[in-house]
Amino acid sequence: MGSDDPVNVNQFQQLAKQLLPKMYYDFFAGGAEDEHTLKDNIKAFSRIMILPRVLVDVSRIDMSTTILGFETSSPIMVAPTSYHQLAHPQGEVATARAASACNTIMVMSYSSTRTIEEVASSCDGVRFFQVYVYKRRDITAHLVQMNKAVSILRRTRYHLTG
Ligand SMILES: Cc1cc2nc3c(=O)[nH]c(=O)nc-3n(C[C@H](O)[C@H](O)[C@H](O)COP(=O)(O)O)c2cc1C
């Protein structure tokens, strides 16, 4: 890793701000209305203290756990977010590969810019699918069936959520 490589989320955010058209950056970085919840989320994380443990053997760290019965390398997963192709030409396929490389779970958004088939065939990994439940239940049911079919065809473990 070079010395200019980003080391935390804030630095990735700065890079995104430099690289993305303002409209797309604002979509990813902005929150709803007056952004009270967005600010509160950041504050909540800043209240979590990390206790440094010195002179402790950290050569083997295991943060693995299970989420809804699925194994994951750490209790951190990719939340459903829409329109990844606004940020990267590969869109959700790139996100899926990154999540898979980290052995963590990706929740694919209902508003994805890549198809379920493209994401499912891009790499192995556990993925959940976020569904909006419409008044037209037949549309929701169709999506669930499609996901089931793709997960059986691709032998990926798909889990539906939403
Ligand atoms: C750019 C952006 C797009 C999002 N798109 C979706 C979406 O398509 N579906 C969804 O259920 N949630 C979506 N969310 C909400 C996130 O999954 C998440 O719940 C939210 O950022 C709050 O994070 P928290 O639940 O960790 O507090 C989106 C959030 C952002 C910032």
Q: Is 111 a pocket residue for ligand 1 (Cβ < 6 Å)?
A: yes
Q: Which residues of 12-49 are buried (b: 16+ CB within 10 A; e: fewer)?
A: eeeeeeeebeeeebeebeeeeeeeeeeeeeeeeeeeee
Task: Please indicate, yes or no, if residue 3 is contained in any of the structural domains.
Answer: no
Question: Over the stretch 40-55, which tens digit does the pLDDT of each residue have?
Answer: 999 999 999 988 889 9
Q: What is the pLDDT of residues 75-108, one digit of tens each?
A: 999 999 999 999 999 999 999 999 999 999 999 9
How far is CA 119 from each of CA 2, 67, 73, 139, rounded to the nearest angstrom? Answer: 30, 20, 20, 21
Which structural domain, as residue segments, surrounds residue 97? 63-161
Asked, for residue 55, whether it belongs to a domain, the answer is no
3-state secondary structure of 100: helix
Pair 70, 32 in one domain: no
pTM: 0.87
Q: Distance from the CA of 53 to the center of ligand 1, in angstroms? A: 33
Query: From the alpha carbon of 109, which atom of ligand 1 is closest?
Result: 8
Residue 57 lies inside a defined structural domain of this protein: no
82 lines ligand 1 (CB under 6 A): yes
The ipTM, to two decimals, is 0.94
Number of H helices, E strands in the chain: 6, 5
Q: Same structural domain for residues 73 and 131?
A: yes
Mutate to test the pocket of ligand 1, among 82, 105, 131, 133 (most ligand atoms within 8 A of CB): 82
Average pLDDT over residues 22-35: 95
Distance 64 CA to ligand 1 centre (A): 24
Atom of ligand 1 nearest to the CA of 110: 8
Query: Residues 157, 100: one domain?
Result: yes
